[in-house]
Amino acid sequence: MVEAKRDMPGQIPVPEAMKGKEIESYSFDNEGIPVSVRILYRKGEFVPHYEMSVRGLSEGTKLVLNTLKGELITNVKLEITEIMDQKRREEVRAKFDAKAMSLLTKHFPSLSDETKSVLSSYLIQNTLGLGELEAPLHDEHLEEVAINSSTDPVWVYHKKYGWCRTNIALKNEESIYDYAAMIGRKVGKQINILNPLMDAHLGSGERVNATLAPISSFGNTITIRKFSKNPWTIPYLVELNCISPNVAALIWLCIQNEMSLLVSGGTGSGKTSFLNAISCLIPANHRIISIEDTRELTLPSFLQWVPMVTREPNAEGKGEITMLDLLANALRQRPDRIIVGEVRKQREAEILFEAMHTGHAVYATLHADNAAQTVQRLTNAPINVPKQMIDALSGIVVQYRHRRFNIRRTLEFAEVQKGGDPNVLYRWDVKSDKVMEANKMVTLAATLSLYAGLTQKEIDQDVEDKSEIIKWMVKRNHKDVNTVGEIVSRYYVNPDEVLSAAKKNSEWSTVYK
């Protein structure tokens, strides 16, 4: 029940008894630096505090290390091309690590190798990386890291507690600008008074937005949306109660039979994460082309997958590669499946639906709050796809982020009827926190009957079988991208074997060797 979630920390005003108390603590590894985190509430404040610390790394030690930073940069000779090349990141880091260890041995001969290794990592992160921001970027519990100005502490968005104020602060506006400029240089972008807005990404995939004052009134800003190291999969979504096994199984059936789906929802609702989850259900013998503004998708390593990204023009306005360019090019690469990060413009949508009409299975995301609004957005300005083309789309999945309870749910799953109108089959009920059946399947059943020869009884049985397999993957903790991909691919080859393993609750490693 959602009502029960009202006692979850951070979702409603905190009881007096909780204020000033630690509610959770944990540790994580930041590239060899052990980091401890405490989440606590302070009296008189309305948001949780995210307090981060590194044992043995006092402010005095940091000052000493910062004096060594200049010596480290002077001693390691690197070309700018080496620093900018993400493929040589480990090579560059190894050079800095060797020289940092040498400097630490010279200045602190009595330190243990373990301590020197930690201090070396700190030096490198403050020389090549984002300094104080590196630690929160390595915390898998966080989704966002935000700098609002030098007068405000850094904020983070915690998966469990929502927005939290941290004990990290940047000393001045220049340091924020320096971080933004460094991020931009590494991907060939500039941010300055003439260009005070920048969209970029880190080498590890995190999306970055930066703004400069006076465009942002209180000061310079940086917002980093973290790239998940462990991408969402269908079993993970089911475990989080984001979607029910039955609805997930029906979506799996649609993907198995090459039906095109659109994932819609508001900002931060989990559209791209859901797109990643359903992409793991694509058969291994299909060729996949993905098109994104920034690489976010992670598919099973054994799939035939060609990821492509757009490119902005250079300072002279040349060299731009748009979503439209990549879409048109993708159709010449003999794809079986096309995955598009987000549809925004008319021509993109037209090519997308053209691809569906020519027999390609397409999966994409769109900003819309429900299935009906999704169709409205597609058929009105600025996208303006003729409504008679919409029925090439088989289904619409709507993702929803409930900010008050800090949860994400699949709000609706709708089939698209002849003529383009949506028929919502399942809808999330907020009171029970369950996905409930809203209407009977009509168009999907007819399509599955026509192209897969399935009767309604066979469709129901197939969904039940797939639901059983999904629940087994959850129970057995088979949730990572490659394992889910292996199980799904094996199911396409031998469904009885996988279903039998699910019913026996067998460990996958003993079934598939």
- What's the rounded mean pLDDT across residues 59-74? 76
Would you state the pLDDT for residue 66?
Answer: 75
Per residue in 75-99, pLDDT (tens digit) is: 776 555 555 566 677 777 788 888 8
CATH class of 234-247+259-443: alpha beta
Domain boundaries, the chain: 2-170, 234-247+259-443
Per residue in 216-275, pLDDT (tens digit) is: 999 999 999 987 777 889 999 999 999 999 999 999 999 999 999 999 999 889 999 999
Per residue in 327-382, pLDDT (tens digit) is: 999 999 999 999 998 898 998 898 899 899 888 999 999 999 999 999 999 999 99
CA–CA distance, 143 with 224 (Å, rounded to integer) = 9
Task: Give the 3-state DSSP-derived string for 128-147, with helices as H, strands as E and coil as C.
Answer: CCCHHHHHHHCCCCEEEEEE
CA–CA distance, 183 with 169 (Å, rounded to integer) = 19
Task: Return the bridge partners of 400, or none.
Answer: 409
Highest averaged pLDDT of the listed ranges 86-90, 170-174, 403-407: 170-174
Q: Among candidates 212, 209, 201, which has minimal Cα distance to 149? A: 212
Secondary structure class of 69 (helix, strand, coil)? helix
Per residue in 432-444, pLDDT (tens digit) is: 999 999 999 999 9
Contacts of 464 (CB under 8 A, 6+ apart): 249
Question: Domain 2-170: which topology?
Answer: Beta-Lactamase (3.30.450)
Long-range contact set of residues 214-219: C-beta below 8 Å, sequence gap at least 24: 216/149, 218/148, 218/149, 218/151, 218/152, 219/148, 219/149, 219/150, 219/151, 219/152, 219/173, 219/176
CA–CA distance, 146 with 148 (Å, rounded to integer) = 6
Q: What is the CB neighbour count within 10 angstroms for residue 295?
A: 15
- Please identify which residue in the block is written with the tokens 């096994």: 245
* Model confidence pTM above 0.75: yes
Tell me, yes or no, if the two domains 2-170 and 234-247+259-443 fold the same way.
no
Per residue in 159-170, pLDDT (tens digit) is: 889 899 999 999
Higher-pLDDT residue of 93 and 446 is 446
Which pLDDT band holds residue 3 (cuts at 50, 70, 90)?
very low
The answer to which of 3-17, 118-132, 255-269 has the lowest mean pLDDT is 3-17
* pLDDT over 90, % of the chain: 64
b/e burial code for range 351-362 (CB count within 10 A of at least 16 → b) = bbbbbbeeebbb
- Please identify which residue in the block is written with the tokens 């200049």: 70
Higher-pLDDT residue of 115 and 505 is 505
Question: Which is it for strands 49-53 and 395-402: parallel, antiparallel or unpaired?
Answer: unpaired
Which pLDDT band holds residue 18 (cuts at 50, 70, 90)?
low
